[in-house]
Amino acid sequence: MATKLKIGTEVLLKGNNYRWLGAQWARVGSRGKTTKMATKRASIKLTTQAIKKNVLKTKINKKDAGSSMKWFNDQIEKTTSKFKEVTKPRVGGMYTYGYDPKGKKTLPYYDKFPLIILVKPYKDGFLGLNVHYLSPANRDKFFTAMLKFTGKKDPALLTEKDLFDINWNKVAKVPLVEKTVHRYLFNHVKTKLVEIGPQEWEASIYLPTAKFKGASQKEVWSS
């Protein structure tokens, strides 16, 4: 997971403290020096925890965010290099993009930078589950519930070939899903459509790319 964290960042995992060295995680010994390197599975968990911690305490500068597509791209690039641009999104994949909804003047609020799990394709767009409409705590619960559709119990076991094996009938009864369901039109997508690799899914739900118009995040989460 190639994520741009600050060198020296430390995270606690299963009673052991780990430090980010710039390319990998290493366990910190009792004297403050690094010892053995973390396993790949542990590294994924450590990176996810570090991103979650950093994102939740970061305040986004509204002037920089605004409706800026540059801001959107910068947020993606600063967090990970494992995203790729696509033209044909797949059912069960996770995607993010800039969006300007049809009939936006009649909407109470909307997200300009959705982060969705694609459920159903249409000729003119797709149905997606936008996790930005959930608070961080509820995103945890929702992602855990959705994970069963991958056949994996632990996100650290996901591979680049995994997808959520879903359709609307399967996800309709997932707790909290009703807050996330939205229909998107291709001709209202205003940036590149970015696919997020399965090994990045868990960390990505904490990316600070949500940009709600018409209401604050807290108002959206509590509605």
Q: Is residue 144 part of a domain?
A: yes
pLDDT tens digits, residue range 89-121?
999 999 999 999 999 999 999 999 999 999 999
> Are 20 and 103 in the same domain?
no
- Could you tell me if residue 37 is inside a domain? yes
Say yes or no: 32 and 103 in one domain: no
Nearest to 191 by CA among 64, 92, 95: 95
Q: What is the mean pLDDT of the chain?
A: 84
Burial class (CB in 10 A: 0-12, 13-18, 19+), 211: buried
Lowest model confidence (mean pLDDT) among 50-59, 102-111, 165-174, 188-197: 50-59
Question: What is the total count of domains within the chain?
Answer: 2
CB 215 within 8 A of CB 223: yes
- From 18, 72, 78, select the one nearest 49 (Cα to Cα): 18
Assessment of whether the complete model's pTM goes beyond 0.85: no
Check whether residue 108 and residue 148 sit in a common domain: yes
Range of the domain at 100: 62-222
pLDDT above 70 for 204: yes
50 and 160 in one domain?
no
36-64 pLDDT, tens digit per residue, is 898 877 887 787 777 766 655 544 444 44
Which residues are paired to 27 by β-bridges? Answer: 18
> Are 145 and 199 in a shared domain?
yes
- Judge if 52 and 20 occupy the same domain: yes
Residue 180's pLDDT is what? 98
